[in-house]
């Protein structure tokens, strides 16, 4: 059945335009400062308060981690935190998941416009939402708690905490329904509702929210973690305002955004005028879909502005991979922050002022309700990020200094492995395995990408220890390791990704439910630059009726798929199934793209990669043109390497 | 001005190879118009291409590469559906 437009849903769609500074919102009094106050802050006070605001977002992250009970949050840092001004413009985004901080401004603006009269916005209120058409998170699992801070009766600013919740209902555990056709297969989005009213948690709203989850106690704890993070922020901010006065603190907030804008504009003026285009592909929009869906972007740089034009991107699909405008922005902001703004305050409210976006509603990365968006964050938002990464890096490559911030595409997708069922303590569980946080980073213009260095959009992302996962969930690892040939070949090699291989273990149900969703199997997603090759394709394998338990009983830990016995199946991009007692799951996530011609890589570096298991002897010879003195990769044979490289140059250009 | 590890803007605004000096493009508005282009099966990108794309999609997938016409240094690599044009392009004003 085709996705049918829903009358009235347009009320929840948003532009990304800031609010008019003079707009009024019922009888809500907003604290504002004028240009004179902003200009009047001395440099020392500015830096002291600015650093304090940065520290507040760090404190928010710490608070979320300490109060949450979810491994995804406590051990993997899949959450975001930010401070917004009175109009919702983002003053400072934390170092955690920057995708989750990309559209808190949209959520703040919508809440001001739609909640200031009814139910009203009062001191001590906090609002919960998980509606990516409105903003905040990128898919329904990203639940935002927005908190207005009042000072002396005026709405002074907002804080926002967002975290990935492991299950919020829908057809499949984890809310990732791989057969999904539209949003109604998924967790139905919640527009902003009052979750804390004048300082008291609303029991009715909480029940409405948690009733949908398969793990309500865990999600309830995360809810308190986010409310607590906002409370911590409000305590710190109130102390700061008490000390320096509201006008000075607000002036610093505005100046931070102005400063980010001014400095980014200055940096853009250092770069040449031009256009850079890129494409990102996703194979399969849901289970059994054999199409390849594309996002195209043309980035134009004129003077001190960037224009991202997504015209030509495929229409939204009946599936789970679409993202809303919030997701599209989540694909742009992390690249701007990490590549263009490493030395500029991370104040998205100012950075966005340098950016124009053209995107047609109804396309795969700007979809309309009720398109399926269950995997938006790690599908079309992530793919947007890949395409944007290419264009920005190529622009930066033209500058002798700024090029050092450019990388090839990092870890081409999120390798979703969702486990659910009955844990070893007899309780129900659902979790997303976050091993893929150890993706490979893209190569740089002057060096290799970091092996298992992380993912682009979560600078503080980390993997849980194997032991934490085994303690928390009914699973036993056979291995978790870096994978050979997973980094994109190049003069500078992309960072390698890794793999995990595990069995269900110690569940009273004798097995676990498994949801797999990871693209990049028909074609790679972490592209290279300047001739560099893309990173390896995603590779997931299911082994049924293995001999692994017998091998373990014999005291042998298998370390290769070939040693597992049973029947081996390569897993498609989207699959939901059960893992039985004798089944094994192997998942191999992506590395980073390479940079430059691999035939120009130092032969000694290739030999070292082979010795360390980063590159196979086969790839050393066929892709890098390096003939090793022996298979262990200890040394390259200089004469043979030169001969081989000459031959490969001719052969790959079809001149032989 | 260097454009990346391989290319530079030569005299008269043409795009030259940094490795051998050969002209790769007549201008920064058409930076690779003299380059050599090839199309091969994706498996030739190396052992990192794990499974046959035909397992997952009915569309043909190809490895496309672009080379300096003189020294054959590799300038561009992509693995894409064969029925699509090359979306990865750039030009300077
Ligand atoms: Zn050349």
DSSP per-residue codes, A347-393: -HHHHGGGEEEE--TTBTTB--TTB--TTGGGTHHHHHHHHHHHHHH
Confidence of residue A2 (pLDDT cuts 50, 70, 90): low
A60's CB contacts (< 8 A; 6+ apart) are A81, A94, A159, A161, A229, A230, A232, A233
Cα A408–chain centre separation? 16
> How many CB pairs (< 8 A) connect A and B?
176
Confidence of residue B64 (pLDDT cuts 50, 70, 90): very high
The pLDDT assigned to A15 comes to 87
Confidence of residue A287 (pLDDT cuts 50, 70, 90): very high
Per-residue pLDDT for A213 more than 60?
A: yes
The pLDDT assigned to A632 comes to 67
The pLDDT assigned to A14 comes to 82
DSSP tag of A622: H
Of chain A, the percentage scoring pLDDT greater than 70 comes to 99
CA atoms within 13 Å, Cβ hemisphere of A538: 30
The pLDDT assigned to A1 comes to 56
The pLDDT assigned to A220 comes to 98
> Ligand 1 centroid to B68 CA: how many Å?
5
Residues in B touching A537 (Cβ below 8 Å): 48-51
B49 falls within a domain: yes
Per-residue pLDDT for A419 more than 60?
A: yes
B91 falls within a domain: no
- Decide if B89 touches A, using CB distance below 8 A: yes
DSSP A219-251: HHHHHHHHHHHHHHHHHHHHHHHHHH-HHHHHH
B72 falls within a domain: yes
| Among candidate residues A190, A193, A172, A191, the one with its CA nearest the CA of residue A181 | A172
Cα-based distances in Å from B16 to A277, A352, B7, B31, B76: 21, 35, 6, 9, 15
The pLDDT assigned to A227 comes to 98
How is residue A487 written in tokens?
A: 């980094």
pLDDT tens-digit series, residues A75-103: 898 999 999 999 999 999 988 888 988 99
Measured distance CA(A550)–CA(A540) in Å, rounded: 23
Per-residue pLDDT for A389 more than 80?
A: yes
The pLDDT assigned to A171 comes to 94
Binary contact (A597, B6; C-beta < 8 A): yes
* Beta carbons within 10 angstroms of residue A205's beta carbon: 17
Measured distance CA(A6)–CA(A576) in Å, rounded: 29
Measured distance CA(A394)–CA(B48) in Å, rounded: 24
Measured distance CA(A440)–CA(A487) in Å, rounded: 7
**Could you list the residue range(s) of the whole structural domain that residue B60 is in?**
7-81
> Ligand 1 centroid to B69 CA: how many Å?
7
* pTM score: 0.97
Cα-based distances in Å from A334 to A78, A156, A159, A347, A433: 14, 27, 19, 12, 22
Residues 11-40 of B with CB under 8 A from A: 28, 36, 38, 40
Confidence of residue A459 (pLDDT cuts 50, 70, 90): confident
- Decide if B60 touches A, using CB distance below 8 A: no
Model-level ipTM above the cut of 0.95: yes
Q: Which residue has the tokens 């195209």?
A: A296
Q: What's the domain count of chain B? A: 1
Average pLDDT over residues A264-278: 98
B93 falls within a domain: no
């Amino acid at each position: 059945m085709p996705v049918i437009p829903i009358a009235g849903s347009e009320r929840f769609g948003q532009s990304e335009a800031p609010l008019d500074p003079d707009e009024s919102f019922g009888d809500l009094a907003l604290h504002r400062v004028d240009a004179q106050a902003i200009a009047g802050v001395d440099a020392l006070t500015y830096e002291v308060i600015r650093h304090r605001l940065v520290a507040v977002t760090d404190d928010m992250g710490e608070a979320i981690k300490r109060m949450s009970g979810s491994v995804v949050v406590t051990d993997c840092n899949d959450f975001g935190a930010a401070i917004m001004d009175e109009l919702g413009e983002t003053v400072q985004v934390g170092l955690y998941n920057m995708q989750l901080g990309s559209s808190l401004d949209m959520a703040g603006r919508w809440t001001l416009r739609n909640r200031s009269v009814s139910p009203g916005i009062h001191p001590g209120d906090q609002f919960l939402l998980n509606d990516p058409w409105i903003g905040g998170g990128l898919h329904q699992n990203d639940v935002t708690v927005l908190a207005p801070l009042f000072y002396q009766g005026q709405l002074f600013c907002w804080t926002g905490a967002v975290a990935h919740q492991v299950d919020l209902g829908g057809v499949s555990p984890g809310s990732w329904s791989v057969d999904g056709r539209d949003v109604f297969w998924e967790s139905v989005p919640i527009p902003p509702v009052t979750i804390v009213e004048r300082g008291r948690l609303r029991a009715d709203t909480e029940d409405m929210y948690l009733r949908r989850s398969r793990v309500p106690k865990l999600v309830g704890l995360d809810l308190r973690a986010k409310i607590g993070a906002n409370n911590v922020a409000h305590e710190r901010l109130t102390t700061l305002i008490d000390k320096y006065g509201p006008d000075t603190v607000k002036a610093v907030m505005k100046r931070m955004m102005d400063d980010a804008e001014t400095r980014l504009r200055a940096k853009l003026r250092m770069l040449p005028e031009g256009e850079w285009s890129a494409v990102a592909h996703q194979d399969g929009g849901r289970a059994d879909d054999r199409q390849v869906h594309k996002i195209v972007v043309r980035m134009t740089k004129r003077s001190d502005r960037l224009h991202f034009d997504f015209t030509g991107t495929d229409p939204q699909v009946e599936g789970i991979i679409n993202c809303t405008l919030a997701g599209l922005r989540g694909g742009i902001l992390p690249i701007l922050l990490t590549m263009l703004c490493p030395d500029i305050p991370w104040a998205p409210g100012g950075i966005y002022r340098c950016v124009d976006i053209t995107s047609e509603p109804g396309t795969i990365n700007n979809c309309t309700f009720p398109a399926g968006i269950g995997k938006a964050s790690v599908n079309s938002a992530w793919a947007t990020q890949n395409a944007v990464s290419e264009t920005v890096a190529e622009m930066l490559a033209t500058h002798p200094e700024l090029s050092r911030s450019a990388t090839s595409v990092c870890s081409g997708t999120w390798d979703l492995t969702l486990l659910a069922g009955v844990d070893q303590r007899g309780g129900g569980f659902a979790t997303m395995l976050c091993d893929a946080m150890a993706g490979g980073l893209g190569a740089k213009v002057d060096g290799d990408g970091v092996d298992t260095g992380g993912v682009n959009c979560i600078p503080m992302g980390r993997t849980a220890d194997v032991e934490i996962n085994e303690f928390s969930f009914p699973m036993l690892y056979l291995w978790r390791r870096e994978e050979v040939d997973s980094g994109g070949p190049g003069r500078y090699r992309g960072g390698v990704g890794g793999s995990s291989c595990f069995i269900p273990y110690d569940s009273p149900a004798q097995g676990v439910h498994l949801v797999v969703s990871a693209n990049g199997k028909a074609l790679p997603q972490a592209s290279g630059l300047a001739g560099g090759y893309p990173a390896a394709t995603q590779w997931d394998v299911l082994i049924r009726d293995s001999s692994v338990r017998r091998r373990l009983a014999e005291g042998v830990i298998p370390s290769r798929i070939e040693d597992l016995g049973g029947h081996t199946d390569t897993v498609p991009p989207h699959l939901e199934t059960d893992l039985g007692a004798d089944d094994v799951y192997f998942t191999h996530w992506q590395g980073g793209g390479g940079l430059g011609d691999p035939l120009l890589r130092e032969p000694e570096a290739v030999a070292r990669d082979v010795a360390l298991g980063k590159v196979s002897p086969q790839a050393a010879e066929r892709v890098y043109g390096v003939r090793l003195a022996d298979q262990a990769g200890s040394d390259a044979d200089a004469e043979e390497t030169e001969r081989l490289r000459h031959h490969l140059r001719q052969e790959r250009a079809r001149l032989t | 001005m260097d454009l990346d590890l391989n290319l530079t803007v030569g005299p008269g605004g043409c795009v030259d190879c940094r490795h051998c000096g050969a002209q790769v493009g007549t201008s920064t508005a058409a930076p690779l118009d003299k380059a050599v282009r090839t199309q091969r099966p994706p498996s030739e990108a190396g052992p990192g291409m794990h499974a046959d794309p035909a397992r997952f999609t009915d569309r043909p997938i190809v490895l496309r590469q672009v080379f300096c016409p003189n020294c054959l240094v590799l300038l561009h690599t992509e693995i894409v559906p064969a029925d699509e044009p090359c979306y990865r392009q750039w030009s300077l004003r």
